Copies of this chain bind each other. A is one copy, B any other.
Amino acid sequence: MNPTIELLKKHRSIRKFTTEPISSELLDELFLAAQSAATSSFLQGTTIVRVKSPETRALLAESAGNQGYVNTAAEFLVMCADLKRAGNYCIENGFAFEGQYTEQFIIATVDVALLAQNLVIAAESEGLGICYIGGIRNDPQRVTELLDLPQGVYPVFGLCLGYPDQNPEIKPRLPLSVIIKDETYNERGNKEEVREYDKKIEEYYKQRMGGGHGISWSKQVSKLLGEKSRPHMKDYLIKQGFKFE
C-alpha cells in the first residue's frame, strides 16, 4: 500500500512529548491541510483556540481529569464548533437567525471532526504525535469561561500535538466484518467475532500494563454506555445556544 495508507494504519495516541516546539511554519501548513477537509454546506463551522498560556493549560488539564500532557504538549488546541461566525451574517443579509436546530448542531460537530482528523494526519505525516482530549467536555462551562466562548460556540474536544517521547503499540480494532455490512444493518456473526476480539484486547491490556487483569472491549464499552455519561452536556449546550430544535 502507499505511504499515506501506511501512515493512517500506524496511528496510536501519544501521551508523552519531548520539549521540542513545532515551528510556526509547520503549524500553518497543518492548519491549511486541516482546513481542506470537506465542510457541510460550505459552513466552515470550526474555530480553533490555540492555548499557549501555562495557567490556562493547567486549568484545562485539571478539568480534563488531570491529563498532564495537556500541559506538556508543544501545542494544545481547543477545537470548537462555531455557528456564531456564520450566524453573524444572517441578520446582515436579511435572515432571522432561526436558532440552533439539531441538524445545525450535527453539521458543526461533524465539520470540526473532519477538520481535526485532517490536522491529525498532517501532523502525523510530519512525525508528530497527537492525542484527542474529550475530557474538556467534563466541565465545558469552565472551558467556555476560560476561552471566552460566545453563544453558538462549544468545545467539541481538545487536541495535544507534539514530538513523541514514547512509542506505544497500535490498539487492535474490531474485525471489519463487525463494522461493515452489506445492503442492510445486521448483526450476523458479530457475537462470535466480538468474543474473539475481546480476548485479543484483554491480551493487549495485559501486555501494556505488564501483567494483571486485562479488560475486554465489550466490558469497557458497557461501562461507558451503562453509566451516566457527562449528563451536564445537554443543559450546558442549551445554555450555550444550541437548542436542539
A residues whose Cβ falls under 8 Å from a Cβ of B: 1-5, 7-11, 13, 28-38, 40-44, 46-53, 56, 80, 83, 85-90, 92-98, 101-104, 106-107, 109-110, 113-114, 116-118, 120-122, 125-126, 132, 134, 137, 146-150, 153, 156-157, 170-171, 173-174, 176, 178-187, 190, 194, 217-231, 233-234, 237, 244-245
Which residue of B92, B117, B223, B230 is within 8 Å of A103 (Cβ)?
B230
Query: Could you tell me if A134 and B41 are in contact, using CB atoms closer than 8 angstroms?
Result: yes
Q: Count identical subunits in the complex.
A: 2
In angstroms, Cα B226 to Cα A64, docked, is: 35
CB contacts (< 8 Å) of A31 on chain B: these are 176, 179-180
Quick one: closest B residue to A222, CB to CB?
B93
- 14 A-B pairs with C-beta separation under 8 A: A1-B29, A8-B37, A9-B36, A38-B120, A40-B132, A50-B182, A86-B225, A95-B225, A98-B229, A102-B244, A103-B230, A106-B137, A110-B113, A146-B184
